[in-house]
Amino acid sequence: MLNFPKQILVAIDGSPLSDKAAEEAVRMASANQGTYKSRIVALLVLPNAPRNTFTDFVPAPPITETDQWEELRQRIFYVIEKNATDAGIPLEMKVAYGDPADELLEVAERENIDVIVIGSSGKGFLKRRVLGSVSHKVVKNAKCSVYVVRG
């Protein structure tokens, strides 16, 4: 008997590749027709806000506290939200700040995630060595299964 993942974490950033990963996560969750339905956690990781200096009288608010956030949030989470709703899959959307790989690994451990679904652009060896690769770091350090969606 196949053991379908119950807790699925998908990395979201609004790119076409993350939309493809979102579609795969929903497809994976939809395959679980057992008593206990799969749940998807969609995680958007934003970079740390720039540090304020002594010359800043009024620090800039994080993007999630601006007037544009709701419109931006809807665009970024549109595909996962629509597909999960259409398939009847429970979805939790989260936003974190920091290094994407570190945040994905931390949420995966804290939420007892069974599988992480993440996109990979396949930029090549040299670019990955110079810039680093979020998907490579997640695959290397995750304590659960990782499903890499290629672009």
16-54 pLDDT per residue, tens: 999 999 999 999 999 877 767 889 999 999 877 555 555
Specify the pTM: 0.82
Place domain 7-150 in its CATH homologous superfamily.
HUPs (3.40.50.620)
Q: How far apart are CA 70 and CA 131, in angstroms?
A: 31
Dihedrals φ, ψ of 35, to 5°? -65, -40
Look at residue 38 and give its three-state secondary structure.
coil
User: Domain spans of the chain?
Assistant: 7-150
